[in-house]
Structure 1
Amino acid sequence: MSCWDTVQAYAFRSLGFGERMLPRDTYDLCQHFTLIGSGLIWNIYFAVIALSAGFFLATALAVGKASRRRLIRKPAEWFIFVFRGSPLFIQFFVAYQLLVLLPREGVTVPLGLFDLTLATDWVTRAWAGAALVLFLNTAAYTAEIFYGALRAIPRGDLEAADAYGLTGWTKFRRIQWPTMLRLAWPAYTNEAIFLFHATTLVFFSGFPAFQQRGDALYYASYFAGRTFNPFVAYPIVAFYFILLTLILTVAFAQIGKRLNRHLPDNLKPRRRPRLLPQIVR
């Protein structure tokens, strides 16, 4: 089988398309790169889902923690404390043990005229349960970042908003939220990178891979176990994640420039110095 045939057979195997059986012989570099890259699709899925949903929950938690009302502030504080204080690896196992306690026939919700049965057999699968844990975890860490940015908003900006008569939701949407994002964006970029790396823990969690459709580390472990050589498969995983980190860093840097487009040039992050000094005439 040529390398192109291998790509056609295994490029989307982690999604259920292509060859059903894993390779049984040769285990060449093309198979390593193709199957591990196929599994990387799930890592990207976990990170994108968790980041997208966690961003909005983190904003609500940050606002809740900054609230003066105790009934709003305390639940937000405890949520952030629990998920930041416990290891992500333990959160995976606790969540799996709680989700398997749900009745497999579903949960019935009485609605008066009829009963609504909610299916629960899907929550213990990795695409749902693991994504839920990552979503809650990154929401807690991001909420603490956003909370610190809310506290760091210059008082002059808030006083200017009060002078213009901005209050409530309008003040938050037009003044506080954009400033919070601008201040928190560098730290949030780091959190996004850490979350992409944390998706590799799904392989070690209790959530099983359905029909051998695992993530990048699943296929790397398969090759390492068959060849007894971990120094090929795992560096390939590292290469893919370094490439993802580079793409993520560039994308978030462009968003950061967009957020800071209104600032004067002397307040914007300075460009990197040139490698060769200018010649003084």
Structure 2
Amino acid sequence: MSCWDTIADYGLRSVGIGARLLPKEDFTLCQQVTLIGSGMIWNVYFGILALLSGFFLATALAMGKASRSPLLRKPAEWLIFLFRGSPLFIQFFFAYFLFLSLKQVFPVFAPFTAAWLGALVVLFLNTAAYSGEIFYGALLSIPKGDIEAADAYGMSGWSRFRRIVFPTMMRLAWPAYTNEAIFLFHATTLVFFSGFPAWRQKGDALYYASYFADKTFNPFVPYPILAGYFILLTLIVVGLFGLINRRLNRHLPQAKRQRLRLRMNLIR
């Protein structure tokens, strides 16, 4: 079998297109690169959807935590504390068994026991909690002079938030939020190792890398391939977020623009 035939058979296997069975012997480098790359489809799916949906909840959590009303502040504080204070692996584990228990009583929860939806909900809440804390810190760092200037121009409520508060909060939070986006994509590798089953062996990139490592007894081929895919994905995320960062800081002098810096997230 040529490498092109391997790509045709296994390139989209992780989403149910192509060969149904995994290779059992004579594992080639092309098979490993193709199948691990196929699994990256799920990592990108989880990362993009969780990031997009979590952004809006994170903004709401930041505003709620900064609110003077306990009815808004306390729920935001506890949700942020809960998902930042517990390991993501444990969140996947408990979420799966929670959805499994709810499924027995309410069949409508059946889709949540599948990774494509249940794990996505966990990642959505987790990144919203981390991002909400980042946005909250940026919200507190908004210069008072900006708010006073908005008040002097007669801005209040939604107009002040849309024109002054939100853009400034994003500009201040964006470097740290970029790091959160990167580590969110890295965290997607935990999905199929924490409770959510891989139906018909349709797992993510780490699932296939582990499969080849177990079959060949040589982890020094599949895992570097996996690392290469994630390095490439990280470069893409940094590039895209860097363009947005330049857009947010376009009105500032070059010397005062914040640069994106990668920092290790040791807690998650």
TM-score range, shorter chain: over 0.9
- Rounded to whole Å, the distance in 2 between the matches of 1:250 and 1:96 is 34
Q: Which runs of 4+ in 1 moved over 6 A?
A: none
Partner of 2:20: 20
1:264 Cα deviation from its structure 2 partner: 2.6
Q: TM-score, normalised by structure 2?
A: 0.94
Matching of residue 264 in structure 1 with residue 230 in structure 2: no
2:48 maps to 48
Q: 1:104 Cα deviation (Å)?
A: 4.2
**Pairwise CA distance, 1:159:** 0.4
Aligned equivalent of 1:276: none
Where do 5+ consecutive residues of structure 2 fail to align?
261-268
Matches within 5 A, 1:76-95: 76-95=76-95
- Report Cα offsets for 1:46-84 as digits up to 9, x if no partner: 101110000000000000000011111011001101110
- Determine what percentage of the aligned residue pairs are the same residue: 68
CA distance in 1, matches of 2:239, 2:259: 16
Q: Is 1:9 paired with 2:47?
A: no
Map Cα deviations across residues 196-245 of structure 1 (whole Å, 9 max, x no partner). Answer: 11011112110001111100011111111110111111111111001100
The answer on whether the counterparts of 1:105 and 1:121 sit within 8 Å (CA) in structure 2 is no
Q: Structure 1 regions of 5+ residues with no counterpart?
A: 108-118, 272-281
Q: Equivalent residue for 2:230?
A: 241
Contact 1:62 1:143 in 2 (8 A): yes
1:1-281 counterparts in 2 under 5 A? 1-104=1-104, 106=106, 119-269=108-258
Q: Are the aligned partners of 2:175 and 2:258 in contact in 1 as well (CA < 8 Å)?
A: no
The whole-number CA distance in structure 1 between the counterparts of 2:173 and 2:35 is 36
Contact 1:150 1:176 in 2 (8 A): yes
Are 2:3 and 2:30, in contact at CA under 8 Å, matched by a contact in 1?
Answer: yes
Check 1:143–1:269 CA distance in 2 against 1; reply closer, same or farther (3 A cut). Answer: closer
Q: Of Structure 1 and Structure 2, which has the larger fraction of its residues in helix? A: 2
Task: Name which one, 1 or 2, has greater alpha-carbon Rg.
Answer: 1
TM-score, normalised on structure 1?
0.90
1:106-155 alpha-carbon deviations (Å, 9 max, x no partner):
45xxxxxxxxxxx2211100011111101000000000000000000011
Q: Which amino acid in the other structure matches residue 52 of structure 1?
A: L
Q: Could you tell me how far apart the structure 2 residues matched to 1:65 and 1:73 are?
A: 4
CA-CA distance at 1:105 after TM superposition:
7.1
Shift of 1:269: 4.3
